[in-house]
Amino acid sequence: MDAIAGVHAAEIRLSDLKRAKGMLGVYVRKFGKKLKGENRVNVGRVGRIIEGLSEWMQAALSFKNEDGIVESNDLLRRKGIDQINMFELIRYISDSKLAFKIESYVAHVESENEPGAVTKAGGTPVLHTLASFLVALTNLSSEGRIFYQKMAGPSPDIQLSYLLLSPTHAFSSVASSARAVILAGGTMSPFEDYKDHLFPTLSASKVTTLSCGHVIPKENLCVWTLGTVRPGAPQFEFSYQRRRDPEMITQLGMAVLNVCSIVPDGVVVFFPSYGYLDEVVAAWEQVQSANSQSVWARLQGRKAVFRETKGGSSDQVLNDYTQAIQGEQSNGKGALLLSVVGGRCLKASTFRTGLDAASWLSGSPTQT
């Protein structure tokens, strides 16, 4: 279900919209007189949507709260976006390859203006990002929610994110059209949740399950719950309201540092998402005072630190992490791996070697 939610998730920033507006302007100045009929109308609609979303996000920068829920109607009433047939526009963008044409032409113009410039690799082009967000806006309001979040950085920015809450409708086309559906994964218990959300109309007699034993021997597993970094310190509470508390994130880093001081070889820390991992690392990298080291620097002084990224190579990260612990160049300090629940690094953990002498799951919203 997390995979389905991930496929249908979408996000866009105000800086993306500013970039998209500039790109659309470059394209229209060059080809505007050649656009006729439907093409001219739909390009104008895309521009109207960019202006409407930008207007709302610019106003949201002055909101008191750093994040919150957004009603889709509040977004769509700007610049008359709610009068646009979004389904037709999305189909037009896809069929005409408008986003690709604009991105390609602007890249060509930029390369001519700066012949020696190197195109940055990675990342999704902003107009494709906009198209994905428009698709999210067409989903039923009961299926998901739109959130805003102010982004820290040298210039003010804000991000809109769509989160799919119920995968039932999104998966219904697969469930109804396929003769057989196979769901394969690691920990899928309780399976009743999958049946209730993905196959709500399917009778129990048509569902067959196969479960295998756990790969971790019982003698290799010992679990503790850590509620605070030290007696008297505030408790860890990674609820949505408190998960970005700078003091709590710092205390989390100190707790990880304490574990790294005791546990030899490899320590693996898992986070609920790549986004939250990025936020935590950014907070750890900040220096609290002129005469002190950041949490990140102290962790690097204790162990070699490696980090799984969303677009990076997990195999390369695991190989470097292994070499830091078992390789010829190992200095005996061991290594720390920051990973994500559901990522490839989690699937590689067996708790049988020094590569994962201790594993830590952080970010649980339940207060202890």
pLDDT in tens, the chain (368 residues): 677 777 778 889 999 899 889 988 888 888 888 888 888 898 899 999 999 999 999 999 999 888 888 888 888 888 888 888 889 999 988 888 888 888 888 888 877 776 544 444 344 578 888 888 888 888 766 778 899 988 877 788 999 998 888 777 778 778 778 888 888 876 677 778 888 878 888 788 888 888 877 667 777 777 888 888 777 777 888 877 778 888 888 899 999 999 999 988 889 998 888 888 888 999 999 887 767 889 999 999 999 999 988 767 778 888 888 888 887 777 788 899 998 887 666 555 555 567 777 888 886 654 43
Q: Dump pLDDT digits (tens) for 69-87.
A: 888 888 888 888 888 888 9
Residue 338's CATH number? 3.40.50
69 assigned to some structural domain: yes
Residues 175 and 156 in one domain: no
366 assigned to some structural domain: no
State which H helix or E strand residue 164 sits in. strand 157-164
| pLDDT at residue 299 in the model | 93
367 assigned to some structural domain: no
Q: Tell me, yes or no, if the pTM score tops 0.75.
A: no
Helix/strand number for the chain, H first, E second = 14, 8
Residues 282 and 191 in one domain: no
212 assigned to some structural domain: no
211 assigned to some structural domain: no
Residues 39 and 103 in one domain: yes
| pLDDT at residue 151 in the model | 85
Label residue 341 exposed, middle or buried (CB < 10 Å: 0-12, 13-18, 19+): middle
Pairing of strands 67-70, 157-164: unpaired
Q: Dump pLDDT digits (tens) for 161-182.
A: 988 887 777 787 787 788 888 8
| pLDDT at residue 165 in the model | 82
Residues 86 and 21 in one domain: yes
Residues 159 and 181 in one domain: no
Residues 189 and 153 in one domain: no
**Tokens encoding 108:** 């060509």
**Tokens encoding 340:** 């994500």
Residues 129 and 248 in one domain: no
| pLDDT at residue 322 in the model | 87
**Tokens encoding 18:** 């500013």
Residues 178 and 162 in one domain: no
What is the CA 37 to chain-centroid distance, rounded? 39
213 assigned to some structural domain: no
Residues 144 and 159 in one domain: yes
Residues 258 and 160 in one domain: no
147 assigned to some structural domain: yes
* Closest to 360 (Cα-Cα) out of 238, 246, 244: 238
Where in the sequence is the domain holding 225, given as residue range(s)? Answer: 218-361
Our count of domains for the chain comes to 3
The amino acid sitting at 49 is I
CB 79 within 8 A of CB 17: no
Residues 202 and 225 in one domain: no
Cα–Cα distance measured from residue 24 to residue 48, given in angstroms and rounded to the nearest whole number: 11
